[in-house]
Amino acid sequence: MKYRSTRGGMAPLPFCDILLEGLAPDGGLSLPETLPQLDADTLESWRGLSYADLAAQVLGLFIDDIPADDLLRMTRAAYAPDVFPQIAPVKPLRPGLALLGLSEGPTLAFKDMAMQFLGQVFEYVLDQRGQTLNILGATSGDTGSAAEYALRGKRGVAVFMLSPQGRMSAFQRAQMYSLQDANIHNIAVRGVFDECQDIVKALAGDLDFKSTHHLGAVNSINWARIAAQIVYYVWGWLRATQGPGQQVSFAVPSGNFGNILAGHLARRMGVPIHRLVLATNENNVLEEFFRTGVYRPRPASQTYATSSPSMDISRASNFERFVFDLVGQDAARVRALMAELQQTGQFDLSALKPQFTERYGFVAGASSHADRLTTIRAIHDETGVLIDPHTADGVKVAQAHLEPGIPMLVLETALPAKFAETILEATGQAPAVPAALQDLQQRPQRVETMDCDARQVADYLHRHAL
Ligand SMILES: *Cc1c(COP(=O)(O)O)cnc(C)c1O
């Protein structure tokens, strides 16, 4: 299994060689040269597997440069009961509608599912190569904490995570800043998220600095994260069906298009998925694309701060991988579209619209703050289950695409405890905090505060990098 770039300018490389890289050298994103295919017999033979053992099977299709027993050891560590007390449970809401619980990990959001595997495989590959890596990133909440919980205490790797001072919830701050591991460095920047991101881009873009300090990233374009996410589509299908060929639909609260891209790949691999229902909030760039065929990312000034904040994105960083499939894997066409996007701020694939729905099964919808409140309240009144605002966007849009005889699984991308304010607004009561996190906000915090100045961050890295 070798990997190529969506823009056609990278010599094929094995998994371990693309693992630690961000963008391909030609500016594209890596994808397997051919997608493994799953027949009905293989899927049926996996029904009895635990999540960890299923993950080793599925990931093994994409990773042939790590021995199978090492991979199994890693998935068993990543998906162990002390990390995920429950693993991807199906939680029924109504007949034909259920949640797939992806937020049972340490940071209460779905990013733990992929990031915990990433933590294992980073440590393994760095060990084998005798290398060190310093992860530099910026976060407005979920990604940074998922990365820190996955990489804390791991050999050969340190994390330097920039966050905008005073812009995260008290819960999110406590989650990150209470980590005391020596390889975790939280840096609160006196600025907004975009300014944190600019500092990361400036330092990672300085190739001398980058190679001297072995800088790396764990952002949502990382292929290993996408591969690890394919596992729970297979798992969800196995849990929601009894036999071969039965169809299931998935509804996915979307931002950077990483989560639903994994669903698209699972479907192309042969998992019997009927619809992939893409849900956005008021930042509806992706919903607009699936409705009109025009992709028109918004400037930061038109990206709204909503009550499902992890979906407040203006440009979907994984979308290029889907476009590559849409245009028949024609890398030259991808390059032309990306150049057009840069020059004109949009591109138009409306001529390919039948492909989205008929060939690839995509439908989309947008949800608003009022929709979230109504949905959280209705589901709670009816079933007693509390859902978080992102999951509520998914449930809202899923309801418009229910079809008789086809179970709909809505991916639960966070737990309500993380977004208490909106839950309180919707239901009049605060969500329960999991027992293990009840003292979280009382724990001592460890954070460096800095001005919005790349030189200060560079200096800190220089002193603390591995
Ligand atoms: C990251 C995130 C999303 C969006 O997922 P993408 O892969 O970026 O589409 C949705 N909900 C929550 C809670 C998230 O943390």
Give the CATH number for residue 272.
3.40.50.1100
Say yes or no: 179 and 238 in one domain: no
Give me the domain span that covers residue 346.
Answer: 90-109+226-427
User: Ligand 1 center to residue 115 CA distance, Å?
Assistant: 13
Say yes or no: 275 and 393 in one domain: yes
310 DSSP β-pair partners: none
Q: Convert the pLDDT of each residue in 59-117 to its tens digit.
A: 999 999 999 999 999 999 999 999 999 999 999 999 999 999 999 999 999 999 999 99
* Cα distance between residue 314 and residue 302, in whole Å: 8
Say yes or no: 155 and 174 in one domain: yes
Confidence (pLDDT) at 204: 85
Whether 394 lines ligand 1, by a CB cut-off of 6 Å, is no
Q: Which of 3, 9, 6 is nearest to 65 (CA)?
A: 3
Query: pLDDT band for position 44 (50/70/90)?
Result: very high
160 DSSP β-pair partners: 136, 185
Angle between helix 51-60 and 223-240 (nearest 10): 130
Which of 306, 390, 391 to mutate to test ligand 1, by most ligand atoms within 8 A of the CB atom? 390
Is the pLDDT at 463 greater than 80, yes or no?
A: yes
Q: Which of 429, 434, 435, 415 is nearest to 381 (CA)?
A: 429
User: Ligand 1 center to residue 158 CA distance, Å?
Assistant: 24
Query: pLDDT band for position 194 (50/70/90)?
Result: confident
Strands (E), 9-65: 13-14, 30-32
Strand 294-295 and strand 347-348: the pairing is antiparallel
**Rounded average pLDDT over 13-37:** 92
Atom of ligand 1 nearest to the CA of 388: 13
Whether 107 lines ligand 1, by a CB cut-off of 6 Å, is no
Q: Which of 57, 385, 111 is nearest to 238 (CA)?
A: 57
User: Ligand 1 center to residue 255 CA distance, Å?
Assistant: 5
Helix segments in 104-252, DSSP class H: 111-129, 142-151, 170-177, 193-205, 207-212, 223-240
Count of residues for the chain?
466
Confidence (pLDDT) at 99: 98
User: Ligand 1 center to residue 356 CA distance, Å?
Assistant: 21
- The one catalytic residue among 2, 111, 201, 210: 111
> For residue 421, is it within any domain?
yes
Is the pLDDT at 300 greater than 80, yes or no?
A: no
Atom of ligand 1 nearest to the CA of 141: 15
Whether 24 lines ligand 1, by a CB cut-off of 6 Å, is no
Contacts of 385 (CB under 8 A, 6+ apart): 91, 93, 99, 379
Say yes or no: 64 and 191 in one domain: yes
* Cα distance between residue 51 and residue 80, in whole Å: 9
**Tally of domains within the chain:** 2
State the DSSP string of 266-314.
HHHHT--EEEEEEEE-S--HHHHHHHHSEE-PPPGGG----SSGGG--S
> For residue 437, is it within any domain?
no
Say yes or no: 215 and 246 in one domain: no
198 backbone dihedrals φ, ψ, rounded to 5°: -65, -40
Whether 255 lines ligand 1, by a CB cut-off of 6 Å, is yes
Whether 226 lines ligand 1, by a CB cut-off of 6 Å, is no
> For residue 403, is it within any domain?
yes
Distances (CA, A) of 392 to 183, 304, 316, 443: 36, 18, 20, 30
Distances (CA, A) of 200 to 37, 73, 163: 38, 33, 11
Rg (Cα) of the chain, in Å, rounded? 21
Q: Is 443 exposed, middle or buried (0-12, 13-18, 19+ CB in 10 A)?
A: middle
Say yes or no: 103 and 115 in one domain: no
Say yes or no: 74 and 151 in one domain: yes
> For residue 342, is it within any domain?
yes
Residue 47: Cβ within 10 Å count: 12
Is the pLDDT at 172 greater than 90, yes or no?
A: no
Confidence (pLDDT) at 156: 94
Whether 254 lines ligand 1, by a CB cut-off of 6 Å, is yes
Q: Which residue has the tokens 């961050």?
A: 457
Confidence (pLDDT) at 171: 86
> For residue 394, is it within any domain?
yes
Query: pLDDT band for position 53 (50/70/90)?
Result: very high
Say yes or no: 116 and 132 in one domain: yes
> For residue 200, is it within any domain?
yes
User: Ligand 1 center to residue 211 CA distance, Å?
Assistant: 30
Confidence (pLDDT) at 238: 98
Atom of ligand 1 nearest to the CA of 313: 8
For the ranges 60-74, 293-307, 423-437, the maximum mean pLDDT occurs at 60-74
Angle between helix 142-151 and 170-177 (nearest 10): 20
Position 400, amino acid: A
Whether 391 lines ligand 1, by a CB cut-off of 6 Å, is no
Residue nearest ligand 1's atom 11 by CA: 413
Say yes or no: 13 and 62 in one domain: yes
Say yes or no: 245 and 294 in one domain: yes
For the chain, count helices (H), then strands (E).
Answer: 19, 16
Say yes or no: 373 and 363 in one domain: yes
Tokens of 314: 């203006």
Confidence (pLDDT) at 197: 85
Distances (CA, A) of 62 to 49, 56, 168: 19, 10, 36
* Cα distance between residue 305 and residue 312, in whole Å: 6
* Cα distance between residue 164 and residue 162, in whole Å: 7
**Rounded average pLDDT over 392-405:** 97
pTM above 0.75, yes or no: yes
> For residue 129, is it within any domain?
yes
Handedness of CA 110, 176, 437, 396 (dihedral sign): negative
111 given a catalytic annotation: yes
Confidence (pLDDT) at 23: 82
State the DSSP string of 318-334.
THHHHHHHHTTS-HHHH
> For residue 120, is it within any domain?
yes
Q: Convert the pLDDT of each residue in 330-388 to its tens digit.
A: 999 999 999 999 999 999 999 999 888 889 999 999 999 999 999 999 999 999 999 99
80 backbone dihedrals φ, ψ, rounded to 5°: -75, 155
Say yes or no: 189 and 123 in one domain: yes
- Element housing 186 (H / E): strand 184-189
